[in-house]
Every structure is written in C-alpha cells, then in structure tokens.
Amino acid sequence: MSQYGFHTTGLEIVNDFSGNVKGRPSEGGIGAQTAISLAHGAPSMILLLGRSLTKIQPTIDEIHTINPSITTKFIPIELSSLKKVRTAAQSILSDTSIPKIDVVINNAAIMISPYELSIDGYELQLATNHLSHFLLTNLIMPKILAAGPGATIVNVGSLAHVLGDINWESTDFNKGRTYDAWSAYAQAKTANALFTVALRSKLVKRGVQSWTLNPGGIKTNLQKFMTPELLAEGVERYSGPGSERPPLKSVAEGCATTLRAALDASLVERNGSCYLSDCQVIEVGQNLKGYAMDRQAAERLWRMSEEMVGERFEY
C-alpha cells in the first residue's frame, strides 16, 4: 500500500492487518513498541525473549493493559552465548502450550561496540546480531513450519549495512587488530540481510516468508556506545563530508516497517529484493547494496554460520 512511508506508525500497520494478528501466537527478540503495537491486534500469545524479566515486565504489563486476554511468556536468553541460545530454544520446543509460531521477529542487537569476543570466541557484534538469531531461528524451525504457509520470519537490519560487506577472510578483524566499530556493525547487518535471503531460498517452497528491513534512525538504548565522534564518522561515511544526520523516527514510527513485514501477506519481492525501508519493499540502489541480496553470498554465509554454531540445518 503506497500510503505507507517514513511517518507510518506500528499501530497503523496493526490496525490495517488486524486479521493477520488476532488469535495468533508470535515470537522473537522484539522491541517493546513492536510487542505493544501487536497487542492491539489481539494475538493469542506473545513470547518475549530477553536477558532480564525486570526490563521486560513493563512491556508485559502494558500488553495486559491493552488486552488482558493475551498470554505472554518471558523466555530468558543471552545472545552472546550459543549455549544459552540453545537453552532458550529448547524451552520453546518443549512447551506444549506453544503448538506453532506464526511470526518470528529477530530484533535484538548491539551497535558499534568496542572490540570484544563472545563467550564462544566470535566478534561480539556478529555473534549477538547474527549468529544468535541464526541458531535460534533454525532450532525453533519445527514450530515455525507447524504454522504452515504464511509463517513469517523477520530479521531487523539497518541502513548501516551499506558501510561494509562481510569480512570473509577474517570476521573477527584479525583478532581485533584491524577492528573498526562501524565496519563490524555493517558486517553484522549485512549478515542479517544475507540470512534472510538464504531463508527465503530454502523455505519459500514451504510457504514461509522471510523479510529484512531498515527500521530507520531511532534514538534508543541501542546507541549507548554512540559518541558524537562516531556519529559524525558514520554520517560522513554514508553521505560524505559535511553531511547532516538524517531525521530520526519516533519509536512508534520505527516499529512500523517491522510490523508490515510481519503482517502483510501481500508483500512480494521486487527484482530479487526482500528488503523493506519506510514500510516499502525497495530494490538494490543507494540504500540497499547488491552484496546484501546476493544468493551465492547468502549460501556462503549459511555454511559459515553452520560451522560457527557447530550444527547443520537442511530444509
């Protein structure tokens, strides 16, 4: 629908596609506003994954204020630990009250953090933003497939992917010696896009949709490492010297593209692109790099990710 754009809010999307929400369970590392907006559509269940119930409880309370009939479940997870990702996945798989998962929204991320390795020895931004989502999504795939045609996986990406491809020769930037925070973040966000391309290729015959997207610039805790110097560097690398920061969205506007990807069954690829920005599918160009939609690169990343998590996934 062409009326959607920069200022569309998540609640507008949910209201327009409420028939695709009501009665459905949903799951994912979703932001609070995404979950709260979804609650207005009366899903039967919302699963909220995160490190701390204390931080997520206000979101649960708000969901129940909107609609007390919605079942909410908190599942603890630590995205920098593959072991803890497996524990979270197993808790979902073993819970008989969750017969299927209609929508997965992989939203959690860290951004431009100092160099650090995950518990498993991988560069932290790639481990948190991609490997954890890759492993979790594949482990809970039986319940996604149980939802049948129409199930949807959404991987929230970023415009920052345009700042760099996968560092194929050394994803940890030569043990940190050549580490650059923006390049590492770009690598992780490119990985989100390529993971989506691979999922679409492998699952489209099952009727499962996969989308990735740029939610837009939103001032949240994601930017806790953002200094004025890093911000200026990022803007200059994208737009050139002397450029101003693009306008920011509100949190309500920022979740809209995610929700359209999750709920609008009429969305179709455009020239091989499964990437949305401002609630619209966009093609390769200034704001979407070809390397992020490359099918061969997507398969290469899939195999590399399998090696990193120590498990193969075939569909």
Give residue-wise pLDDT tens across range 6-63: 777 656 667 776 565 555 444 443 478 899 999 999 999 999 999 999 989 999 999 9
Catalytic residue among 4, 115, 122, 185: 185
* Domain hosting residue 258, numbered range: 10-15+78-309
214 has which bridge partners? Answer: 277
Q: Compute the average pLDDT of residues 222-233.
A: 82
Average pLDDT, the chain: 90
Is 230 within the bounds of a domain?
A: yes
Contacts of 3 (CB under 8 A, 6+ apart): none
How many separate domains does the chain show? 1
Which of 39-53, 91-105, 106-120, 208-222 has the lowest average pLDDT?
A: 208-222
Is 110 within the bounds of a domain?
A: yes
User: What pLDDT shows up at residue 240?
Assistant: 77
Backbone dihedral region for residue 96 (phi beyond 0: left; psi -120 to 50: alpha; all else: beta): alpha
Q: Compute the average pLDDT of residues 244-270.
A: 89
Is 96 within the bounds of a domain?
A: yes
Long-range residue pairs from 220-223, CB within 8 A, at least 24 positions apart, any chain: 220/31, 220/251, 220/254, 222/109, 222/110, 222/111, 223/111
What gap in Å lies between CA 141 and CA 135, rounded to an integer?
Answer: 10
315 is catalytic: no
Q: Compute the average pLDDT of residues 206-225.
A: 86
CATH of the domain at 170: 3.40.50.720
Is 233 within the bounds of a domain?
A: yes
Is 37 within the bounds of a domain?
A: no
Quick one: pLDDT band at residue 243, thresholds 50, 70, 90?
Answer: confident
Global model pTM greater than 0.75: yes
